[in-house]
Amino acid sequence: MALAFEEVVKLADLARIDMTDEELTSLASQLDVILDAVAVVSQVAGDDVVPTSHALDITNVFRADEVAASLSVEQVLAMAPDAEDGRIRVPRILGEAS
Partner 1 sequence: MNELTQTSARGLAQMIRDGEVSCEEVTQAHLDRIAEVDGDIHAFLFVDGERALASARRVDAKRAAGEPTHELAGVPVALKDAYVYQGTPTTCGSRMLENWYSPYDAAVVERLQGADMIILGKTNLDEFALGSSTETSAFGPTHNPWDLARVPGGSGGGSAAALAGFEAALAIGSDTGGSIRQPAALTGTVGVKPTYGGVSRWGLVATASSLDQPGPCARNALDAALLHQVMGGYDRRDSTSIKAPMPDVVGAARRQDVSGMKIGIVKQFGGEGFAPGVEQRFHEAIELLAQAGAEIEEVSCPSFDLALAAYYLIMPAEVSSNLARFDGMRYGLQAGDDGTRSADQVMRASRRAGFGDEAKRRIILGTYALSAGYYDAYYGSAQKVRTLIIEDFTKAFASVDVLLSPSTPTTAFKIGERVEDPMAMYKADLCTIPVNLAGNAAASFPAGLSPEDGLPVGVQVMAPALADDRLYQVGAVLEAVLEQRWGGPIWAPLTKEDQR
Alpha-helical (H) ranges within the chain are 5-14, 21-38, 41-44, 73-77
- Least separation in angstroms between residue 71's CB and partner 1 is 5
Q: Does 19 bind partner 1 (CB under 8 A)?
A: yes
**Which residue in the set 21, 66, 75, 86 belongs to the binding site for partner 1 (CB under 8 A)?**
75
Distance CA 1, CA 37 (A): 10
- In eight-state DSSP terms, residue 84 is E
SS3 87: strand
Q: Does 84 bind partner 1 (CB under 8 A)?
A: no
Q: Does 93 bind partner 1 (CB under 8 A)?
A: yes
Q: Does 39 bind partner 1 (CB under 8 A)?
A: yes
How much of the chain is in helix, strand and coil states, percent to nearest 5?
40, 5, 60
Point out which residues bind partner 1 (CB under 8 A). 3, 7-8, 11-12, 14-19, 27, 30-31, 33-35, 37-42, 44-46, 49-56, 58, 61, 63, 71, 75-76, 78-82, 88, 90-93, 95-96, 98
